């Protein structure tokens, strides 16, 4: 019970920190100023415990801007390239409408968006979970794609992204488990 109160306080504090949006630089080769940002952490800096498996395990607030023309939908992934099993998929959301410009902390995406199964074999967000003392990079990548829907077959998600990505934006958080 005491831990829950601490997490609520942390979340309240994060929300009360103001409207600051910490932006990541656009990915190499991207057009214009396509930027992915979060009110919860700065690019290449520590993520709060609330977003990890030993915290509340909720998704951070995300916002994007500078969408180029020709985009028909978005796909969001969060991966940990530092995990023991390699490039671990924590979150994948497809079919995000082009009219969407972000999501609040711990909220669902708009209707028609779909959360795919991650490498934990569950749908939805599953935060980083490194061993005690270890740290993982958590790479959030937003892909602006030229297709309205991701049709699960015949191509897997990575192949679909190779064929349909117009531009991408990357935001990296770092989580160190105590």
Query: pTM of this prediction?
Result: 0.80
Q: Where are the domains of the chain?
A: 2-176
pLDDT tens readout for residues 7-55 = 434 443 444 443 333 333 444 444 468 999 999 999 999 999 999 998 9
Query: Is the omega angle on the peptide bond into residue 100 within 30 degrees of 0, that is, cis?
Result: no
How high is the mean pLDDT of the chain? Answer: 83
Neighbours of 13 (CB within 10 A): 10
Domain 2-176 indexed as CATH 3.30.160.40: no
Strands lying side by side in the sheet with 22-23:
22-23, 35-38, 62-65, 102-103
Ranges assigned E (strand) in 84-145: 86-97, 102-103, 114-115, 135-145
Region class of 85: left (phi > 0), else alpha (psi between -120 and 50), else beta: alpha
The number of residues in the chain equals 178
Identify which of 176, 171, 175 has the alpha carbon closest to the alpha carbon of residue 76. Answer: 171
Judge whether 39 and 62 are in contact, CB under 8 Å.
no
């Amino acid at each position: 019970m005491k831990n829950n109160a601490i997490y609520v306080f942390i979340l309240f504090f994060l929300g009360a920190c103001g409207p600051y949006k910490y932006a990541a630089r656009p990915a190499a080769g991207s057009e214009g100023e396509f930027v992915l940002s979060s009110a919860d952490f700065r690019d290449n800096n520590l993520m709060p415990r609330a977003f990890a498996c030993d915290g509340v395990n909720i998704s951070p607030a995300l916002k994007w801007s500078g969408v180029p023309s020709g985009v028909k939908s978005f796909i969001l992934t969060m991966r940990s390239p530092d995990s023991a099993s390699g490039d671990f998929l924590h979150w994948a959301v497809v079919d995000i409408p082009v009219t969407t410009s972000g999501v609040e902390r711990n909220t669902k995406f708009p209707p028609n968006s779909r959360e795919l199964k991650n490498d934990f074999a569950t749908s939805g967000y599953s935060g980083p979970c490194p061993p005690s003392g270890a740290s993982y990079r958590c790479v959030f990548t937003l892909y602006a794609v030229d297709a309205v829907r991701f049709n699960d077959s015949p191509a897997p998600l990575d192949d679909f992204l190779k064929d349909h990505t117009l531009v991408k934006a990357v935001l990296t958080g770092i989580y160190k488990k105590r």
